[in-house]
């Protein structure tokens, strides 16, 4: 996994609430057996028309937002299914950070496994960043994970919360499986206990 430390990038405003995983990556693209290559299909139904042409009014099709690495969006982003194809597709489009007033649990969790930083901010701060991204699309937003800050220009700075363990893993690009396997002895002890006390498990 690619570590996430600092990001200085433009942001795209996706001004919708409840953007669910079926919108982020529709089912016909779940048939892949790979993790990569999904970016072109991300947001398919709202991004392309019936003939497969880009809809000019969809935010990520607009030239000024095509290279955005930050997505600013409404509440309950990523609701619906557990498909990790959703963060894979978003990452494959080049987005490394999503800012919203709230995320669905599984999606939020899946982001961390793929080096994407989801940031939850109070509604008014998200609205302010969203407006800024709409009016000044070229302005960069700086995200510093170590300091847990979002800075826009020299004036605005917000701080955000993140669980220390997730932060540690993201900063260092750590693979969970490797970390857990270091606890092999405790897992084995736990297993023995189950076999003894709960033989039906």
Partner 1 sequence: MRAQPRTLYQKIWHDHIIDNSTDDGTCLIYIDRHLVHEVTSPQAFEGLRMQKRKVRCLERTLAVMDHNVPTTDRSLPIEEKDSRIQIETLRNNCKEFGVELFDLTDKRQGVVHIIGPEQGFTLPGMTIVCGDSHTSTHGAFGALAFGIGTSEIEHVLATQTLIQKPGKNMRINVNGKLGTGVTAKDIILHIIGTIGTAGGTGYVIEYAGDTIQSLSMEGRMTICNMSIEAGARAGMIAPDQTTFTYIKGRPKAPKGENLDKAIEYWKTLYTDEGAAFDREISINAEDIPPTVTWGTTPEDVVSITGKVPSPEDFDNPGKQAEVRRMLEYMGLEPGTKIRDIKIDKVFIGSCTNGRIEDLRAVAKIAAGKKVANGVEAMVVPGSGLVKALAEQEGIADILIKAGFEWREAGCSMCLGMNPDQLKPGERCASTSNRNFEGRQGRGGRTHLCSPSMAAAAAITGKLTDVREF
Binding mask 50-89 for partner 1 (x = CB under 8 A): x-----------------------xxx--xxxxxx--x--
Chain positions 142 to 181 lying near partner 1, rule: CB under 8 A, are 163-165, 176-177, 179-181
Binding mask 98-137 for partner 1 (x = CB under 8 A): ----xxxxx--xx--xx-----------------------
Distance in Å, CB of 155 to partner 1, minimum: 26
199 near partner 1, judged by CB under 8 A: yes
Instruction: Evaluate whether 79 touches 20 at the Cβ level (below 8 Å).
Output: yes
Distance in Å, CB of 135 to partner 1, minimum: 19
Q: Return the number of the residue (154 or 163) whose C-beta is nearest partner 1.
A: 163
Give the binding site for partner 1 (CB under 8 A).
16-18, 20, 22-23, 26-28, 30-35, 45, 50, 74-76, 79-84, 87, 102-106, 109-110, 113-114, 163-165, 176-177, 179-181, 183, 186-187, 190-191, 194, 198-201
């Amino acid at each position: 996994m690619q570590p996430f430390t600092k990001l200085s990038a433009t942001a795209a405003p996706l001004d919708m609430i409840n953007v669910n995983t079926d919108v982020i990556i529709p089912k016909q693209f779940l048939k892949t057996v790979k993790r990569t290559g999904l970016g072109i299909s991300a947001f398919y139904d709202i991004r392309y028309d019936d003939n497969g042409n880009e809809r000019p009014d969809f935010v990520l099709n607009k030239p000024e937002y095509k290279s955005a690495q930050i997505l600013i969006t409404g509440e309950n982003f990523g609701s619906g299914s557990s498909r990790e194809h959703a963060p894979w597709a978003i990452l494959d489009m080049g987005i490394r950070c999503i800012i919203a007033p709230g995320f669905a649990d599984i999606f939020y969790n899946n982001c961390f496994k793929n080096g994407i930083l989801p940031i939850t901010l109070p509604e008014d701060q998200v609205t302010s960043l969203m407006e800024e991204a709409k009016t000044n699309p070229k302005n960069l937003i700086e995200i510093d994970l170590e300091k847990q800050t979002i800075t826009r220009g020299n004036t605005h700075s917000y701080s955000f919360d993140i669980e220390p363990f997730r932060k540690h893993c993201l900063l260092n690009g750590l693979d969970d499986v490797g970390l857990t396997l270091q606890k092999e002895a405790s897992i084995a002890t736990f297993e023995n206990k189950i076999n003894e006390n709960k033989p039906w498990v």
